Structure 1
Amino acid sequence: METQKISKLITDFLSGKLNLAEEMQLLKWVKETQSNKDFFLKQQALFEQELIQNKDRQSSESWNRLQAKIAPYTKQKPVFRLQNAQLRKVLAIAAAFVFGVIISSVVITNWPSSEDAQTVRNVATPYGARTQFQLPDGSTVWLNSGSKLSYPAQFSKTRRITLEGEAFFEVKKGRPFIVSTSYGDIRVKGTSFNVKAFQDEAFETTLVTGLVQIKGNETGEEILLQPGFQAKQERGRLVVSEVETELFTSWKEGKLIFRNEYLPEVTKSLERWYNVHIELANDPQLSGIYFSGTVEMESFPEVMELLKTTASINYTFDEITRTIRITKK
């Protein structure tokens, strides 16, 4: 492909002007060689530099937004405030279609100028993104797509945080550490574990190391979880089972692993992972389809083609609304 043509294709891609066929053409080219990928990143840097020089984007917040796009490739972990809808759209599309998912794109609100213990910090990741950061006590958090975590600027005797969505924690030993969710509280000390607490999905906690205690808000049910086990909400109760923890924690490494997952559950994960909306046709057969596979650095079109082949489905894609409609073959 001619250099001039590919340069224009990349610029149009970063500007959100390409259609799905053109995006797939670019994706194929980028993945062919390392030099192609390097060229893409170079063109992206030039594109960002032009945005920086634009007088309409001279504010510090605009600079932070641009750094958010650079972060996945420079391995930096800056703090961002993302407000401009167009730049966020470009960022989400670029990472999701070319490199699978944004490594670090985060909205932080109520960030205090002084270390007031009463100040609450809210960290949120949009669909198509995930981020990693540290809490005031040095504990590490990986926050998955479409999730929000709230915590105080300074912990008191009890380290209490609130989670909506999904996160993996590596907790420093010390004072009691409590994760509050809509289902209930998870109490830990020095532990690594995953919590999934989306509003429209079953609550689950998967323990990798250490020990956690789970207490339901409504039922008052208390469960002590051992490493290698998972507690999952089923019909209002927690059911404990031994699991392969990697299946539930691999997302923080940039992988989604599905093992005999029904299609509706798969599509929920893909919606958050790629920042798209997926509709299933009103067909009972679709709910009975299950899928096994690993999604790592694949683009969304590649994943949909994989589903089409292995799950016997057809799909259409509305580029304007980024909506996929799935039907049975």
Structure 2
Amino acid sequence: MKKRTDHINDDLLVKYLLGITTAGEKEDVEAWMAEDAENQRYYDHFRLIWDESKKFAAVSTVREEEAWMRFQQRVGTNENTARIIKPDMSTWRRDLRIAATLIVLFGAGCFWYLSQLRTPQTRVFADAEVKLDTLPDGSFVTLNKRSSITYPASFGKVRRVKLEGEAFFNVAQDAGKPFVIKVNDVTVQVLGTSFNIKSTHGKTEVIVETGAVEVTKNNNSVQLKQHEKATVSAEEAAPVKQENTDELYNYYRTESFVCNNTPLWKLVNILNEAYGVNIVIANTGKRDLPINVTFHNSSLDSTLKVIGLTYDITIEQKGTQITLK
């Protein structure tokens, strides 16, 4: 089949959705969708945004007649193009309002979103093991278990990646190309630095090791530098900035549990996460017991044994539950 992708643009797709294409244009669009699954996927997302824009159409202040004239000028006509016939006034006004809303939405960022569908995306997933990955710009990423990162085959003016789970980033410096990470509804932007991002149970945590980053949610931003962190929960409208003295976040990258006056409950939470177990502190009086020790390449059994002997804690295991008394 002859490729027709050079004939297809977003204006033509809008005409197709409005039902105002010529017979040749309609044939071009349908042949383009049939020739490649990616083309069909792009159209499906385009139509999804079209359908979503109906929600805004009812409150649109667009002047239909002027918008119609601008749209006709935008798509243009030539001697081989049939005259465009407007549908009946009720459906035309509704659909034109939707088309105008769609174009406004594109101006706000949907063109970028749809363009990503045309750019090959790479997704790296760390299942049962920590995984290292090198991004197209030379940045290094360490993915914790059950985490993933998605990014384009090549970066544009902005280096955009999407994270699910937890990862440590060592970003290659490029002052002309900001590095932007999207995780849940939080955005982290940086020019060149190293930092850790963790997203779990609706909470996002960013810890800066070197350099500086900006963490944003709902247009509320905080600037972080070395030894600072920001936490954002689903209920909070803005990131909360704090000092960070904890090194436990690095355990999956360094294979060490570094405790520096770390409360027992925090170490237990990390051990549960790292080993996939269920450790419970039965003696509430010892929850905040400060732990000062480093476990390097230790098994869970040896780690618990050291905790028990050093801090006078009894370890009991029944089935999958481990109890500290």
Q: Quote the residue 1:120 is aligned against.
A: 121
Higher deviation after alignment, 208-217 or 183-192: 208-217
Partner Cα distance (1:229, 1:166) in 2: 17
In structure 2, distance between residues paired with 1:213 and 1:262: 29
* Contact 1:184–1:216 (8 Å) recurs in 2: yes
What is the SS of the residue equivalent to 2:306?
helix
Q: Does 1:278 align with 2:278?
A: yes
- The alignment covers a number of residue pairs equal to 204
Instruction: Report how far residue 327 of structure 1 moved.
Output: 4.1
Does the Cα contact within 8 Å between 1:178 and 1:187 map onto a contact in 2?
A: yes
Which residue does the alignment assign to 2:43? none
Q: What's the offset of the Cα at 1:282?
A: 6.5
TM-superposed deviation, 1:231: 2.1
2:230 corresponds to:
231
Report the AA paired with residue 296 of structure 2. E
Does the C-alpha gap of structure 1 residues 303 and 227 become closer, same or farther in structure 2, counting only changes over 3 Å? same
- TM superposition shift of 1:159: 1.4
Aligned in 2, Cα 1:311/1:230: closer, same or farther, shift over 3 Å? farther
Secondary structure in structure 2 of the residue aligned to 1:203: strand
Task: Give the direction of change, closer, same or farther, for the CA distance of 1:314–1:247 in structure 2 (3 Å limit).
Answer: closer
The residue that corresponds to 2:188 in the other structure is 186
CA contact (8 A) 1:254 1:297 kept: yes
2:323 paired residue number:
326
Q: Structure 1 residues 207 and 311 mapped into 2: Cα distance closer, same or farther (>3 Å)? A: farther
* CA distance in 1 between partners of 2:261 and 2:185 (Å): 26
Q: Which has the higher contact order (CA 8 A, sep 6+)?
A: 1
Q: Distance in 2 between matches of 1:191 and 1:166?
A: 17
TM-score normalised to the size of structure 1?
0.54
8 Å contact 1:208–1:245 — kept in the other structure? Answer: no
Name the residue aligned to 2:255.
254
1:325–1:249 Cα change, 3 Å: closer
CA contact (8 A) 1:179 1:187 kept: yes
TM-score normalised by L of structure 2? 0.54
By how many angstroms is 1:302 displaced?
Answer: 0.2
1:163 aligns with 2:163: yes
The aligned residue for residue 133 of structure 2 is 133
CA deviation map 1:86-112 (0-9, x unaligned): xxxxxxxxxxxxxxxxxxxxxxxxxxx
CA-to-aligned-CA distance 1:21-78 (integer Å, 9 cap, x gap): xxxxxxxxxxxxxxxxxxxxxxxxxxxxxxxxxxxxxxxxxxxxxxxxxxxxxxxxxx
Post-superposition shift, 1:172?
1.4
Distance of aligned partners of 1:121 and 1:209 in 2 relative to their CA distance in 1, 3 Å threshold = same
Q: CA offsets, 1:243-300, max 9 Å, x none?
A: 34755446422212123434443233223323x3214267644644553322211111
Mapping 1:83-162, distance limit 5 Å: 118-127=119-128, 129-162=129-162
Whether the aligned pair in 2 keeps the contact of 1:263 and 1:286 (CA below 8 Å) is yes
Partner of 2:179: 177
Tell whether the 8 Å contact from 1:117 to 1:155 is kept in structure 2 after alignment.
Answer: no
For 2:172, give the aligned amino acid: K
Kindly indicate whether the alpha-carbon contact (under 8 Å) linking 1:164 and 1:199 is maintained by their aligned counterparts in 2: no
**For the Cα contact (< 8 Å) 2:151–2:162, is it kept in 1?**
yes
CA RMSD of aligned residues (A): 2.9
Could you say which structure has the larger radius of gyration? 2
- Residue 180 (structure 1) shift: 1.1
How far does residue 230 in structure 1 lie from its aligned partner after superposition? 2.1
Provide the secondary structure at the position in 1 that maps to 2:165: strand
Q: What is the distance in 2 between the residues matched to 1:273 and 1:225?
A: 27
What SS does structure 1 have at the residue aligned with 2:156? Answer: coil
Residues 196 and 141 of structure 1, relative CA distance in 2, 3 Å threshold: same
Opposite residue 225 of structure 2, the aligned amino acid is: Q
Contact 1:290 1:311 in 2 (8 A): no
State how far apart, in whole Å, the 1-side matches of 2:247 and 2:281 are: 31
Structure 1 residue 311 displacement after superposition: 5.9
Counterpart residue identity of residue 178, structure 1: V
Letter in 2 for 1:226: K
Deviations 1:163-189 (A, max 9, x none): 222211111123111111125000011
Contact 1:208 / 1:228 at 8 angstroms: preserved in 2?
yes
Distance 2:123 2:305 in 1: 37
